[in-house]
Amino acid sequence: HAPVTLTFVDQEWATTTFNQEREQELQQFTRETGIQVKLLPSPESTREQLALWRELLRPGASGPDVYTIDVIWPGILNEDFIDLKPYFANEVSGGFPAITASYTVDNQLVGVPYDANIGLLYYRTDLLREYGYRGPPRTWDELETMAARIQAGERAKGKKEFWGFVWQGAATEALTCNALEWQAAEGGGQVIEKDKTISVNNPDAIRAWQRAARWVGSISPPGEVGYKEWDSLNVWIAGDAAFMRNWTLGYVDSQAAGSPIRNKFDVSLLPGGKAGRVGTLGGTGLAVSRFSAHPREAVELVRYLISRDVQVKRSRLLSEAPTRPELYELPEVIEPNPRFALLSQAFRTGIVARPSNITGKKYEDVSNAYMLAVHSVLTGARSAPEAATALENELVRITGFKKGPPAKGIIKP
């Protein structure tokens, strides 16, 4: 037999450390199994990635065997991937329920959780101390006050480019994630509820959008409405912000040798509101193409990439959060990274999921409409009530679902 070569495409943020680590992982896999792996490059934004994945998954395209999929894609791409449940029964039963649920469509396990991601608050411990705060803000309103005060103080010292809070306000999927966090925490619902009610046009969501619009140009740069993940990370790492909303992956670069804020920051759950404290669930899963000529080998690669050894090593080197609860019990995981305790808790009780599974193939349009509506409020093009009403009607048109109030109570995954 000629040795099998698998093709693998991943949408990971590829830093130098990450690329080196992955190269070693794949070489190790080849040594253990004799299977070669060819890696394809991928574009930066979720939307471009999805377009490329669709292209690669066209019948006859002889695309990759193994793909990572964003946690919001299972309902979009389920027909193109095999059901992994028979191969990963233990991972499914022992996994974080909310994460596993996000990769499951009609009882098909479309992807196996690979990288667990959640929106978090990064904060400057040195500045909090200097301005007399004992800990990070627990509510969004507190964040607003603290950010304004620290910003005023730093500017008075001559740091003219200093900002209180940076986040992701560009009209991309990341804005969907940010805005969902603000509104869900305030009881403003999840845009479309689990029972398919379009709930977005409600006073709590509207107030949460209005508050964020107020941040633009006051505690956040005017250019915030064009910021993606890397833009906010750059301002933050330069030492020019007191707070940042970003994914778990923001940690590695912030703490890298030579980073001006190394050892001057920590990470907490995002601030909350009257309904709780939540971060949007992000991350990727590994999926096997149903067009693959080597599904057996492809499943082997998936099994290797989510193995305990690979995950433990990644948690240490790349600060990647393990995807399986039992890994958080290991001293070699938790001791170098005590903040993982926070993540393991957040993955149980602090997740808000985007309405991707209930809207399936329509999720892209739904998210696009939502993010553009919020963006128009942030830029001042439309008032929040106006944008919410128009969005509600548009979502009815896209999905055919009915309008109604958000689900009541404290958010549970």
Residues of the shown chain interacting with ligand GLC in the complex, contacts defined by CB under 6 A: 46, 70-72, 117, 172-174, 177, 247, 282-283
Residue 165 CB contacts under 8 Å (≥ 6 apart), including other chains: 143, 144, 147, 215, 219, 220, 241, 242, 243, 244, 245
> By C-beta, is 190 or 202 nearer to ligand GLC?
190
Cβ at position 131, least distance to ligand GLC in Å:
31
* Shortest Å, Cβ 118 to ligand GLC: 9
Q: Compute the Cα dihedral for 69, 72, 74, 76 and give only its sign.
A: negative
Q: Closest distance between ligand GLC and the C-beta of residue 182, in Å?
A: 16
- Comparing CB distances to ligand GLC, the nearer of 70 and 144 is 70
| Site of tokens 């906010």 | 232
Smallest gap from residue 295 Cβ to ligand GLC (A) = 26
Q: Is the sign of the CA dihedral 52, 53, 57, 60 positive or negative?
A: positive
User: How near is the Cβ of 289 to ligand GLC at its closest, in Å?
Assistant: 20
SS (H, E, C) 316-364: HHCCCCCCCHHHHHCHHHHCCCCCHHHHHHHHHHCEECCCHHHHHHHHH
Q: Would you mind telling me the total number of residues written for the chain in this entry?
A: 413
Helix axes 140-156, 203-215, angle to 10 degrees: 10
C-beta nearest to ligand GLC: residue: 282
Our CB check for ligand GLC shows the closer of 146 and 180 to be 180
Write down the least CB distance from residue 45 to ligand GLC, Å: 7
Query: Which residues fall within 8 angstroms of residue 78, CB to CB, at 6 or more apart?
Result: 105, 106, 108, 110
3-state percent breakdown (helix, strand, coil) of the chain, nearest 5: 45, 15, 35
Report the SS3 class of residue 210: helix
| Residue 19 CB neighbour total at 10 angstroms | 12
14/330 with CB nearer ligand GLC: 14
Instruction: Of 107, 140, 117, 105, give the one whose Cα is nearest residue 248.
Output: 117
Whichever of 177 and 318 has its CB closer to ligand GLC, that residue is: 177
Of 154 and 181, the one with the shorter C-beta distance to ligand GLC is 181
For residues 247 and 347, which CB has a smaller minimum distance to ligand GLC in the complex? 247
Distance CA 9, CA 22 (A): 12
Neighbours of 348 (CB within 10 A): 15
CB-nearer residue toward ligand GLC: 72 or 391? 72
Q: Minimum distance between the CB of residue 248 and ligand GLC, rounded to whole angstroms?
A: 9
Biggest CA-to-CA distance, the chain: 71
Q: Which is nearer to ligand GLC, 64 or 74 (CB)?
A: 74
Cβ 32 to ligand GLC, closest distance in Å?
28
Least separation in angstroms between CB 276 and ligand GLC: 20
Q: Mention every residue, 6+ apart, whose C-beta is less than 8 A from residue 23.
A: none
How far is the C-alpha of 311 from the C-alpha of 326, rounded, in Å? 12
Q: How far is the CB of 306 from ligand GLC (least distance, A)?
A: 16
> Please, which residue, 109 or 171, has the CB nearer to ligand GLC?
171
